[in-house]
Amino acid sequence: MGPAMKQFPPSSVTPAQGCAWVTGASSGIGEAVAIRLVQDGWTVMASARSADKLAQVAAGQDGRIVPVPVDVTDLEAVKAAVASIETMHGPIALAILNAGTYTPDSAKTFQSADVRMHMEINVMGTVHCIEALLPGMIARESGQIAVVSSVAGYRGLPRASAYGASKAALIRMSESLKFDLDRLGIKMQVVNPGFVRTPLTDKNDFPMPMIIEAEEAADKLVRGLADNAFEITFPRRFTFLMQRLRGLPYGLYFACVRKMTGS
């Protein structure tokens, strides 16, 4: 397609164009998204570090979920995983870059090792996947990438300095890449969930307003892939509130979040 005929934003991909790749697919949102994508006709490459858990997710899916164990912090391993998927299963048309981690922090326990871990997994892990995917997608002039960030990346929240910083970086990086990717025929979206019940949030010892189950989150995420909107966000009532908070001047912002969280 000539440059004058390119569609903005690029259209969503379909299973006819290749397979889907979901990182962080061994539990929580990623697992539910992999299963949900199979229902939409996709063959899904499922990645995480735990080969055992991936095998359990793939069981009973008639070979439509293929475990591809990889640690996203290892660039060479990620590149090898993408190359092997594309050799054996054809192009990766759709990538849901969802692998992530979260440990609550506080000023008293603030440590570089903790921040580095969040940056390595959440930011660099996603960067490695994008680096491995782009040459193929650019050559094909098609593809779709959804980066799973969080509403915790909008502005600073209590006990999430490392996590929030890593998720803010993902939002900003995805926004920036979108300008180029639009012209290259590749659809870029960012996913900003509120609270979803998963092993990641099971460690929270505070009330999580409007929390939803992973299956509902996966359904909303997959429906959002077909939308033109850059941001996919759910549950809407909660994320709408977070979006209003994002626009407040600092004085009001800190006062509101203190009141809401008791921090």
Cα Dmax for the chain: 57
The helix or strand, by DSSP H or E, that contains position 118, with its residue range, turns out to be helix 112-118
Find the binder of ligand NAP among 9, 10, 18, 100 (CB under 6 A): 100
In angstroms, the Cα distances linking 63 to 21, 52, 55, 58, 110 are 14, 16, 11, 7, 44
- How far apart CA 8 and CA 188 sit, in angstroms, is 11
Q: How many alpha carbons fall within 13 Å on the CB side of residue 108?
A: 0
**Site stretch for ligand NAP (CB under 6 A), options 7-15, 60-68, 195-203, 245-253:** 195-203
**Site stretch for ligand NAP (CB under 6 A), options 3-11, 92-100, 237-245, 253-261:** 92-100
Q: Which of 27, 47, 154, 167 is catalytic?
A: 167
Long-range Cβ pairs for the range 59-67 (8 Å, 24+): 61/35, 64/38, 65/25, 65/34, 65/35, 65/38
C-beta separation of 143 from 11 below 8 A:
no
State residue 183 phi and psi, 5-degree precision. -75, -20
167 is known as an active-site residue:
yes
Q: Which of the residues 203 through 262 are near ligand NAP (CB under 6 A)?
A: none
The DSSP string of 28-46 is HHHHHHHHHHHHTT--EEE
Q: Which of the residues 5 through 34 are near ligand NAP (CB under 6 A)?
A: 23-30
Could you give the string, one character per residue 59-78, with x where binding to ligand NAP holds by CB under 6 A and - elsewhere? ------------xxx-----
**Position 101 contacts ligand NAP (CB under 6 A):** yes
50 is known as an active-site residue:
no
Nearer to ligand NAP, 193 or 224 (CB): 193
108 is known as an active-site residue:
no
**Site stretch for ligand NAP (CB under 6 A), options 85-93, 196-204, 234-242, 249-257:** 196-204
Residues at the site binding ligand NAP, with contacts judged by CB under 6 A? 23-30, 48-50, 53, 71-73, 98-102, 121, 125, 148, 150, 193, 195-196, 198-201
Active site residues: 149, 163, 167
